[in-house]
Amino acid sequence: MKSSTAGLIGIISVALLVAGHHLGDAWAVAITIALAVVFGYGWPHYLNIPAKKTLGTVLALTGAAAALTAGLTTSSEYLSWTPIYLALGFGAVMVVQIIRGTGQKRRLESTLGAGAGVAIAGFACGWVASNRFLGDPGMSYIVAISAVVALLAGMLNWPDRVVGPLAVVLAGLAGPLAALLFSDVRILTSAILGLLVGAVIAAYRRLRTLTGPAKSMTGRIAAALAPILSLGALVYFVEKLILS
């Protein structure tokens, strides 16, 4: 997948997730579940590991369950169930790797890759928790704008050694600008948040470069969604740290 296509998918997914602040919790839960399911199904195809359908089902169920629980829980600790789903997901991945009869030589790589997918799918629920935790979407705008800027930088057809630092720096600058427009978050805090977002986006772009293009479209979409879903938990916990 070209960097421009991956960046466009990332930008659209960010817009859909942040729209939950205006369209309500039901929208946030529904779109997060949908993105987690698409990612879960495509991630094994992206890594080209055996037992794609079974592992894809595990990843999709982990992300969907975590997002649904984050949206329905009455406790103020919206992610209290997420570690349980992550543990169950990792356990299911281990069981699949033990009982499957093909690709034994790649069992370790499959376990590590699918385990990372479980974590990414589970972290997506942070977007739901953020939507419920914040009354004002200003913090989410900071993250979203920083992510969009980093994704736009990542769409440049330049070497990673140039694009990576550029994405981080531009996202770090976009954070304070977004804070001035949409929030009363301090400049230093928003800059740090922007730098973190840029670092996540740049790291996943480097991963796509190292692994090469995926053979299937579902795998390519999963690779594009991975950094955005990963930001969910980061957004929520940073917001709690700053605003609590």
pTM of the prediction? 0.91
Specify the pLDDT at position 46. 92
Q: What's the one-letter identity of residue 154?
A: G
Q: Alpha-carbon distance 15 to 26, whole Å?
A: 16
d(CA 9, CA 222) in angstroms, rounded, equals 10
Residue 29 has what pLDDT? 95
Phi, psi of 180 (to 5 degrees): -65, -30
37 touches 60 (CB < 8 A):
yes
* Predicted pLDDT of residue 136: 64
Q: What is the pLDDT along the chain (244 residues), one digit of tens a residue?
A: 567 788 899 999 999 999 888 888 899 999 999 999 999 999 999 988 888 899 999 999 999 999 999 999 887 788 889 999 999 999 999 998 888 755 556 778 888 999 999 999 999 999 998 888 865 677 888 889 999 999 999 998 888 889 999 999 999 999 999 988 887 778 888 898 899 999 999 999 988 888 777 778 999 999 999 999 999 888 888 777 776 6
In contact, 173 and 192? CB cutoff 8 Å: no
CA distance 189 to 35: 29
| Residue 224: CA count within 13 A, CB half-sphere | 29
pLDDT, position 21: 81
Q: What is the pLDDT of residue 105?
A: 64
